Structure 1
Amino acid sequence: MNSIVRTVANNSHRFTVDDREMLFHVPTSGLFELDAVSSHILEACDNPQGESVMSLLGKLAEPCPSSEIVDTVAQLGDLKLISSDGVEAFNSEVKSLEQIPLATLVLNVNTGCNLSCSYCYKEDLDKPNNGQKMSFETAKQSIEMMLTESPDQPRYNIVFFGGEPLSNMPLIRDVVSYAEKRFAEINRPIDFSLTTNATMLTEEIVAYLNEHRIGVAISIDGPKAVHDKNRITVSGQGTYDVVRRKIEMLMQGYSARPIGARVTLTKGVTDIENIWDHLFNELGFSEVGFAPVTSGDISYYNLSEQELEAVFSNMKALGRRYIDAAAKGQSIGFSNMHQMLTDIHEGTKKALPCGAGAGMVAIDHSGGVNLCHRFTGSDLPLFGSVSEGLDREALTGFLETRMDRTDKGCNTCWIRNLCSGGCYHESYARYSDPQKPVYHYCDLMRDWIDFGLKAYSEITQANPDFMDTYIAPRRG
């Protein structure tokens, strides 16, 4: 009764939505509405000196029954929201990785690309005539390596990447044919997807993609004036007009899966809402996602600190429109918002920032195993090859190092289990170390996730069916 208890710093994030007091529980990534007793106790204990239980009983006896105060103190202690130990935060211990549940392969089918986008990060990118194409034998070995390493996954995925993946369409056809038969033999579903600049689409290719349910994402940066700034041919011509024609053809002939747009934001491009409006309402994409460039190899194209702040501010403006539409049972296809709400809805608790190296690896054209598609051609050491197999020791060592948050600042950050330090390649490009957190994003990400928690609370209050209708099915 006389022990001093204090709130555990950075183990929760409290906020108010429409007069409701909410709490994000960091250790479990759970979101709760606080009752009056819990709110009073947390507020009373939220000071450096703390409070004794006897003191809490004296201060809160009028608004709260004594027995309820004692019970709630115990419950908050069990949740590690208050403690008498003076700890700053509770974190799971770093565990050794006994298994790598490899279920996704990114196949870099050709280093060549028919475009010459000014900001492209691909370090192994070649002009069309110099493109290094992956062989079918390498692709086949990649699939067999995945099955050897992870034979019991419920679902598998193959992603075709480049360069421009459609420039090696014969290989894509061969891989799909082989994989469909191979995975049918073991009674496991296999999904295919690709990201393309759209310029090489034909009616025949669209029909093929539709027949085999190959997911399609289009790289497009917005309206003509924005897109043609950087997405240009080798001879320097803008590509918007041809890309738009190809997209219109795709929309007419493809119905297998939703079609997404991937937008790269570079220097001077921060107008999120107008870009989304053009791609979603005019061109008809099902989802639109935005990727800010802050650490590209060519610094000229990187967003400045002020521009990055503007990007996040404008993302919240579009997020506000997302919330209003969700309340009416509508989705406006804002991928960044979708992803954040999915993580909140599922109570995601990340030990690692993404599936790179754990659930997914990228295979370069010659069969090297890379952490992800962004590292093909980089100086980061390979993690094996499809002929020799996965270098499990090196890969698990790399991942376990990243999971250790000691002395990185992440161990006391309240978004640590939703962020986990951020993109490996962003850290690699900016700090020459993929193990470092992306410190230049920290404040912006905390603000963005705070916005997402409030959005989730608003949407579930106004239209609880929205999550089951639009968010939960995304994992499937």
Structure 2
Amino acid sequence: MATLHLVRDDMRDVTVGDRRVLFHVPTSGLFELDRVGGALIDLFAELGEVSEEDVRRRFDGVADPAEVIDSLRELITLRVVESGPAVKRTKPPVTISEFPLSTVVLNVNTGCNLSCTYCYKEDLTTPAKGERMEFDTAARSVDLLLQEAKGRDSVNVVFFGGEPLTNLPLIRQVVAYAEQRGREAGIRTDFSLTTNGVLLTEEIVDWLDAHRFGITISMDGPKPLHDRNRRTVGGKGSYDVVAAKARMLLSRYRSRPVGARVTLTAGVTDVVAIHDHLKSDLGFFEVGFSPVTSGAMSAFNLTGDELATVFDNMKTLGLAYVEAAKRGVNTGFSNMHQLMTDLTEGTTKSLPCGAGLGMLAVDKEGDLHLCHRFTGSSQPTYGNVDHGIAKDSLGSFLEGMANRTGTDCETCWIRKLCAGGCYHESYARYADPAHPTYHYCNLMRDWIDFGIRAYAEIMVANPQFIERHVAPRRGMK
């Protein structure tokens, strides 16, 4: 047997109670290590290069030789153990020639009836001054989506702003048009909306329900926290109105679960109390948290210590998720649930998200942006709804992202779950969407390590939870 070595960059050895779990980086797969498998990993970690004599010396009289050989073959099959001296791997370059568009985000109005202090939108203004998308632009966006989505069973049209409900007449027109065009193409058209909730009425809620919208309400927690930043144009807190509208919505909405999205800013770190209020007091199905670390106004960005506190508190909330999962209960902590989904599905990424690939955002002029966060920014656009996607320039950008070299991402063990981080986060912090989000790498590694341990615990205690609550999630309509 030639000498063998451990491919350290392609694995993570995690201890969960009295179990050891191997996280296989290339596939995001999890494999439980038995006694022999764990001992082999220890041998490689200790010696670096391992010979046949090293294996014999370690296991003679300790383990069945056939069992040792089988375990070693499994590690070789996974390619976490390879022959010869350790050398830097070169991966084949990723080439992108197809753009499987499944989602368009329509920026229907740059105007908003709130004036949230931390808003990242560079083109934001009041509703009266907002730049509204015209129906022809929206219709061509739908046509482009359906054209590029041939072969798909469904597509999604997302309405965004500003506050999208300030242009409700357009949304109604687009829904009627998209449903008709989808029927003609044999493709189901789904709709999503993120709203501050202020303009919701019973009639609007019932109409959204009839068309099975996926709805997310932006709320920041109990009244003191919500009113701190989410204010009206006149400077008043919006909690009382939004909470009342949320309760009305949740009491009548039946077609799909409704979630809340929380923006965490400087001084706001108690995710446990915020989650408890939004989930238990108001009744949202799930609650997700978005920490602000790269906003244009640095006063609202979480400091390094605050961000660490946020992640510590998220782990506290995650432990509650695990204990509930053991009883078959989903607590509705969406950050944790998404991590469980990624581990269940074996998510592996060459790109951090679907921006520019499965999703494009459309502005008032019909220009195509990587995602909704870039509308109104100085970043390049990639075609328009009249002439289609500029596939050469978009492909060049995405290939550049997928084939980045000279970064810490190349050897990072969470690279297939992170892939460098959010483009807009990098753009806002470093003025470069290609720059890895180094400012929270360690926290993300710790969070995913925590998630692996949590997943392993759930699978041992109650695997039915994964089958019933996590695996079906992406198909939930």
TM-score band w.r.t. shorter chain = over 0.9
Residues in 2 aligned to 1:85 and 1:363: alpha-carbon distance in whole angstroms: 52
Residues in 2 aligned to 1:475 and 1:86: alpha-carbon distance in whole angstroms: 42
Confirm or deny that 1:228 pairs with 2:266.
Answer: no
Residues in 1 aligned to 2:23 and 2:216: alpha-carbon distance in whole angstroms: 33
**C-alpha displacement of 1:175:** 0.4
* Residue number in structure 1 paired with 2:73: 74
Residues in 1 aligned to 2:208 and 2:69: alpha-carbon distance in whole angstroms: 62
Equivalence map 1:160-175=2 (5 Å): 160-175=159-174
Shift of the 64–278 alpha-carbon distance from structure 1 to 2, 3 Å rule, reads: same
Q: Secondary structure at the match of 1:31?
A: strand
**C-alpha displacement of 1:21:** 1.0
Q: With the length of structure 1 as denominator, give the TM-score of the two structures.
A: 0.98
**Which amino acid is 2:332 matched to?**
G
Greater Cα offset, 78-87 or 308-317: 78-87
Q: Secondary structure at the match of 1:161?
A: strand
Q: With the length of structure 2 as denominator, give the TM-score of the two structures.
A: 0.97
* Residue number in structure 2 paired with 1:436: 435
* Residue number in structure 2 paired with 1:291: 290
- The gaps in structure 1 that reach 5 residues or longer are none
**Which amino acid is 1:257 matched to?**
R
1:313-359: CA deviation from partner (whole Å, max 9, x where unpaired): 00000000000000001011000001000000001111111111110
Residues in 1 aligned to 2:57 and 2:277: alpha-carbon distance in whole angstroms: 60
1:164-193: CA deviation from partner (whole Å, max 9, x where unpaired): 000000000000000111111121111101
| Residue pair 2:146, 2:182 contacting (<8 A) in 1 also | no
* Residue number in structure 2 paired with 1:372: 371
| Residue pair 1:114, 1:164 contacting (<8 A) in 2 also | yes
Equivalence map 1:424-463=2 (5 Å): 424-463=423-462
Residues in 2 aligned to 1:325 and 1:150: alpha-carbon distance in whole angstroms: 39
Q: Secondary structure at the match of 2:376?
A: coil
* Residue number in structure 2 paired with 1:344: 343
* Residue number in structure 2 paired with 1:18: 17
Greater Cα offset, 399-408 or 343-352: 399-408
Q: Secondary structure at the match of 1:194?
A: strand
* Residue number in structure 2 paired with 1:104: 103
- The gaps in structure 2 that reach 5 residues or longer are none
* Residue number in structure 2 paired with 1:133: 132
Shift of the 387–453 alpha-carbon distance from structure 1 to 2, 3 Å rule, reads: same
Question: What root-mean-square deviation, in Å, do the aligned CA atoms of Structure 1 and Structure 2 show?
Answer: 1.2
Residues in 2 aligned to 1:461 and 1:129: alpha-carbon distance in whole angstroms: 56
Q: Identity over aligned residues, as a percent?
A: 53
Number of positions where the alignment pairs a residue of Structure 1 with one of Structure 2: 475
**C-alpha displacement of 1:49:** 4.0
* Residue number in structure 2 paired with 1:253: 252
1:437-470: CA deviation from partner (whole Å, max 9, x where unpaired): 1001110000000000000000111111101111
* Residue number in structure 2 paired with 1:187: 186
| Residue pair 2:146, 2:185 contacting (<8 A) in 1 also | no
Greater Cα offset, 40-49 or 231-240: 40-49
Equivalence map 1:22-171=2 (5 Å): 22-47=21-46, 49-87=48-86, 92-171=91-170
Residues in 1 aligned to 2:376 and 2:386: alpha-carbon distance in whole angstroms: 18
* Residue number in structure 1 paired with 2:466: 467
| Residue pair 1:9, 1:88 contacting (<8 A) in 2 also | no
Residues in 2 aligned to 1:90 and 1:277: alpha-carbon distance in whole angstroms: 46
Confirm or deny that 1:325 pairs with 2:324.
Answer: yes
**Which amino acid is 1:432 matched to?**
A
* Residue number in structure 1 paired with 2:208: 209
Residues in 2 aligned to 1:23 and 1:297: alpha-carbon distance in whole angstroms: 40
**C-alpha displacement of 1:154:** 2.2
**C-alpha displacement of 1:37:** 1.7
Q: Secondary structure at the match of 2:440?
A: helix
Greater Cα offset, 239-248 or 59-68: 59-68
